[in-house]
Amino acid sequence: AQSVTQLGSHVSVSEGALVLLRCNYSSSVPPYLFWYVQYPNQGLQLLLKYTSAATLVKGINGFEAEFKKSETSFHLTKPSAHMSDAAEYFCAVSHNAGNMLTFGGGTRLMVKP
Amino acid sequence: DADVTQTPRNRITKTGKRIMLECSQTKGHDRMYWYRQDPGLGLRLIYYSFDVKDINKGEISDGYSVSRQAQAKFSLSLESAIPNQTALYFCATSAVAGRRTDTQYFGPGTRLTVL
């Protein structure tokens, strides 16, 4: 069975500060992991995904995530937050069958000027 | 134009009413999904369809039904709406390959309120 835990339902950072959003997973098979972002009044869009090709994955808008098998983690980072990064972020793990996803509860990122 | 569209975008209804949410896509994908989003719970899968003749229940299908009218259209129905079905509903699609690494593409969502 697969599950995803996102620590911190709300994270607040100042503009220009480091962004760190945490994601831990549980999977009975080698995991494939995704980060999606949801801007206000919009659907989810893919930020980046881990497909086992490389443990450090770079995504759009300056975000990246590192897959750490020993820690069962896939934390999302960005060196310098921008006001436009304010959104809700979801971590997800792909099931063994087809490509259904199990999502974490989401983390709402707030960026203070 | 958006690749995945959902109608309506907002709907307020009363308990016991039948409601249909519609999803259309122009991506040419075979696989389509319906999710609901609740605060703190993320997205949970309601139904999914791998092609027109293949429809499957997801994690939380009770109280919902679906219809895959064509490759491009996938509708979600609430036969008798109840207040705890108040949520944000998303349709998504993915490519026919069905690999675990395939990206899902989401519509803009339908906000449903059941009074």
Q: What is the average pLDDT score of chain B?
A: 92
Residue-wise pLDDT tens digits, B4-21: 999 999 999 999 999 999
Q: Residue B88 above 90 pLDDT?
A: yes
**pLDDT the model gives residue A71:** 93
Cα distances (Å, whole numbers) of residue A33 to A18, A29, A53, A65? 22, 12, 12, 10
Q: For chains A and B, what is the number of CB pairs under 8 angstroms?
A: 62
* Whole-number Å distance between alpha carbons of A81 and A20: 10
The nearest alpha carbon in chain B to A38 belongs to B108
The nearest alpha carbon in chain A to B103 belongs to A46
Cα distances (Å, whole numbers) of residue B22 to B4, B28, B69? 11, 17, 10
Give the one of B4, B48, B107 whose C-beta lies nearest to A100's C-beta: B48
Chain-chain contact of B106 with A90 (C-beta, under 8 angstroms): no
Interface of B with A in 53-112 (CB under 8 A): 58, 90, 92, 94, 98-104, 106-109
**pLDDT the model gives residue A34:** 94
- Is any Cβ of chain B less than 8 angstroms from the Cβ of A103? yes
Helix (H) or strand (E) holding A36: strand A33-38
Residue-wise pLDDT tens digits, A62-72: 999 999 999 99
Give the one of A36, A98, A101 whose C-beta lies nearest to B50's C-beta: A98
Q: Residue B97 above 70 pLDDT?
A: no
Chain-chain contact of B98 with A99 (C-beta, under 8 angstroms): yes
More confident residue, A41 or A73: A73
**pLDDT the model gives residue A38:** 95
How many CA atoms are closer than 13 Å to the CA of B2, on its beta-carbon side? Answer: 17
* Whole-number Å distance between alpha carbons of B113 and A74: 34
Q: Strand pairing of A44-50 and A33-38?
A: antiparallel
Q: In Å, how far is B18's CA from the nearest CA of chain A?
A: 24
Q: What is the DSSP letter of B115?
A: -
Q: Residue B26 above 90 pLDDT?
A: yes
Give the one of B43, B98, B103 whose C-beta lies nearest to A98's C-beta: B98
**pLDDT the model gives residue B9:** 95
Most confidently predicted of A100-104, B55-59, B87-91, B100-104: B87-91
**pLDDT the model gives residue B15:** 97
Q: Strand pairing of B110-114 and B10-13?
A: parallel
Residue-wise pLDDT tens digits, A16-63: 999 999 999 998 778 889 999 999 888 999 999 998 878 999 999 999
- Per the CB < 8 A criterion, the answer to whether B104 and A104 are in contact is no
Band (pLDDT 50/70/90 cuts) for residue B98 is low
Nearest to B100 by CA among A56, A27, A31, A48: A31
Helix (H) or strand (E) holding B54: strand B54-57
**pLDDT the model gives residue A8:** 92
Band (pLDDT 50/70/90 cuts) for residue A77 is very high
Whole-number percent of chain B with pLDDT over 70:
93
